Amino acid sequence: MTTAPGGRRSRPYAGTGGRIQAPSTGLTIDTQITVSGTYTEQPLSEAHLSALRLCSESSRAVSELAGLLQLPVGVITVLIADLHHLRLVTLQSPADLSNIDNVSYGLITRVLNGLKAQYQEDTKGNRRAN
């Protein structure tokens, strides 16, 4: 639940008119949202405006918007689908990195060793703090 003006509590789905599933737009939790236009024809809900404000600062992922606005991902996907339908935002699917040929065994080994070293350093610091 969210707090509405005047201190009233409202359900997260109130901002979407009760809709819990976005029309087929291909939105996933890692889809990047970018503001692409301005809209003045019809007033938008506060949730729509909040999403637009956040996306105007920088591109945001659906999951990031859900966290920042403290709303379920289902609500965010409906809001973003509405904004996309109004041509206020553009959607960018994440890059498919599954077929990249320049990831070598050596690179993965260096990353793993770096992570292990960072973990050991972090655990040493935690032991000292306790």
Decide which of 37 and 2 is more confident. 37
pTM: 0.59
Higher pLDDT, residue 35 or 10:
35
Least confident among 37-51, 62-76, 116-130? 116-130
Query: CA of 56: how far to CAs of 30, 38, 59, 126, in Å?
Result: 17, 11, 7, 39
How confident is the model over 17-49, as pLDDT tens digits?
555 555 666 788 899 999 987 767 768 888 889
